[in-house]
Amino acid sequence: MTVMTDTEAMAHVMQTNPAFAVTDANIRGVDFRVFENVPPHVAALLHASYEAQGNGAAEYLIFENERWTFDEFLSDVNRMAHVLRDTFGVTKGAPVGIAMRNCPELMIMVMACASIGAVTVFVNAWWTTEELEYALKDSGARLVFADGDRVARMQPLVDDLGLAIVGVRDGETTAHHSFTALKTNAQSDQRPDADIDTDDDFAIMYSSGTTGRPKGVVQTHRGAVNAVFSWLITAVMAPLMDPDHDPDAPPVRPSVLIVTPLFHVTATHPMFLLSLPAGAKVAVMPKWDARKAVEIIRDEKITRFLGVPTQSADLMVAMREMGETLPTLDYIGAGGAKRPPAQVGELSEMLPNAAVATGWGMTETNALGIGMLGDEYNARPDACGKPHGPLQDVRFLDDNGNDVPHGEIGELTVKSPANMRCYLNKPDATAEVLEDGWLKTGDLGRIDDEGYVSIVDRKKNIIIRGGENIACLDVEAALHRHPAVAEACAFSVPHDRLGEVVGAGIQLKSGTSAQAEDIQAFLADHIAKFKIPEHIWFQTTPLPRGATDKTDRRALQAQCLKDHT
């Protein structure tokens, strides 16, 4: 067999496999390249995957000691779709909130909503009552499916917002409605009829930005499905580029382990949604436990692992302690944050059967973006990779919107049908980042003559703590609520395990005093625990200023970290 380059392999697959044929489409007045023959929406993606999932008989979903075949998963999805429509009167385009830790019910409800054209509102399970209130008001979701902790946090909002809460698992006894009872009493387990357009809204995911409140990223069905097939084509291309590929060898069924939150795009799109047409089995962890992850990978013969770099590091520690080699893993990816370069070689040594991978994507792009794996990643551990084809276009722009030459730093700007439709209820913020189909990402980087992209900095004031995005202004808004705080500025503090954690410089009001513990305890009622600064520096003089009299975040960060160890 002749080994192809990536460009040759992609051209070959597009020309010979109808599933990956590309055409042009006008979307909201802008022309894009799109896959011509893919399922038109997420519900169709689910049912088009039936054959790949053993005609329904294959074991599909594993959660602790519970197991679903694909047929059983479809039955639960269909039942809950009828519950949404018949019991709660949910109509096409209506927002439905999901607020829970990783569990099968989350995946079932995403598909149930998609099946009737409702819009899933992914709610961050770590948010406080105050943060939950903002998202529910912003999205208009009044029906929410939630586990026990989230039911408790939303109870103060029930009357004011008119919420109907369906309890899931440990939330069934405390919420007004029970998921199990509703599913059991559903009027049908047949696929519901629904008139869904490919450019209808599929989901709202909240993403931290440079403003003090998270933005609701509106994703369409076309965006999600085209992202999925952009990843799927790489699996079809891989044998054409592998000199050691044996075409007569029996195929290995892919199996994935989901360890990151399903309310984030890293878990939903390139893991859950991709698993459907890929014919993959899915194992889901409710919370991260490295030793448990090793056991699941070993016992379920997991082939694909995608987590934040911290989880890759934890996995290696657990492997050493347990004496496990995990030979079935053939892919170990990193999302949510950049992997430390030193980790690349260590993973390759410990997992010789696995292609170590990296990538870049955003909630605003349905996670579609840039990636690489294996030898090319080992050779360029500081880079992000090449843009996933064949639908994306990539540019690097200066502050005036002009393209910069290869090798020079500019703002990464991308165009594809996977880009979001808008920021919910934020036309000005949408206009700032979307123009003629191009999305300004806020990330600064460069592309070399071979097409490899490196991200060097962020224009956005975002701290990435173990893969979780934290807006500095979100933290600062909460800090300014404290009666002793005259001025506050948040910034990242390097951390060996998490990559970054939150730090803050605070000017105290005259005549007041406070300790870091006081500030941290106060913040617990206002922002999620992972956003609370772990390091706080106090001063009585004003924080440093730049030329425009704005707080100089970088100068303050350097000043505070000067003696930090």
Mean pLDDT over 121-135 rounds to 95
DSSP H/E element including 377:
helix 375-379
Indicate whether 254 pLDDT > 90. yes
Helix ranges (DSSP H) in 116-220: 129-139, 148-154, 158-161, 179-184
Q: Helix, strand, or coil here: 459? A: coil
Can you give the residue ranges of every domain in the chain? 69-219, 462-561
Tell me the average pLDDT across 212-235.
95
Instruction: Indicate if the pLDDT at residue 208 is higher than 70.
Output: no
Residue 211 has pLDDT above 60, yes or no: no
Reported pTM: 0.89
69-219 fold: Rossmann fold (3.40.50)
User: In this predicted structure, what is the pLDDT of residue 547?
Assistant: 56
- Higher pLDDT, residue 307 or 551: 307
Q: Render pLDDT for 440-465 as a digit per residue (tens, 0 to 9).
A: 999 989 999 999 999 877 777 788 89
Q: Which residues pair with 165 in a beta bridge?
A: 144
CB 300 within 8 A of CB 285: no
What is the pLDDT at residue 247? 81
Mean pLDDT, to the nearest integer, of 360-367? 96
Domain 462-561 has CATH 3.30.300.30: yes
DSSP type of residue 515: -
Q: Helix, strand, or coil here: 439? A: strand
Helix (H) or strand (E) holding 560: helix 553-561
Burial of 340 by CB count in 10 Å (0-12 exposed, 13-18 middle, 19+ buried)? Answer: middle
Tokens of 348: 């390759």
Strand partners, 216: 206
Please name the amino acid found at residue 442: G
Cα separation of 131 and 153, whole Å? 10
Burial pattern 443-454, b for ≥16 Cβ within 10 A else e, equals bbbbbeeeebbb
- Which of 3-17, 378-392, 424-438, 449-463 shows the lowest mean pLDDT across its residues? 449-463
Residue 210 has a pLDDT of 46
| Residue 233: both structure tokens together | 């084509």
Pairing of strands 255-258, 281-284: parallel
Which pLDDT tens digit goes with each residue over 524-536?
999 999 999 999 9
Long-range residue pairs from 25-30, CB within 8 A, at least 24 positions apart, any chain: 25/417, 27/199, 27/222, 27/417, 27/437, 28/199, 28/421, 30/436, 30/437
Q: Is the CB of residue 72 less than 8 Å from the CB of residue 62? A: no
pLDDT for res 521: 96
For residue 193, what are its two tokens?
Answer: 């009829």
pLDDT at 549: 61
Q: Beta strands 370-373 and 355-360: pairing type?
A: antiparallel
Report, as an integer, the average pLDDT of 361-368.
Answer: 96
CA gyration radius, the chain = 24
Task: Share the mean pLDDT of the chain.
Answer: 94
Map residue 337 onto helix, strand or coil. Answer: coil
Q: What is the mean pLDDT of residues 163-170?
A: 98
What confidence category does residue 337 fall into, taking pLDDT thresholds of 50, 70 and 90? confident
- pLDDT (average), residues 125-135: 95
Q: Identify the sign of the CA torsion 413, 394, 274, 319.
A: negative
> Could you tell me the pLDDT band of residue 169, with boundaries at 50, 70 and 90?
very high
124-133, 180-189, 542-551: segment of lowest average pLDDT: 542-551
Cβ contact 120:110 at 8 Å: yes
Least reliable range by pLDDT among 80-84, 116-120, 122-126, 553-557 = 553-557
Tens of pLDDT, residues 224-236: 999 999 999 999 9
Question: How crowded is residue 210: how many other Cβ atoms within 10 Å of its Cβ?
Answer: 16
Of 111, 43, 116, 107, the closest CA to residue 86 belongs to 116
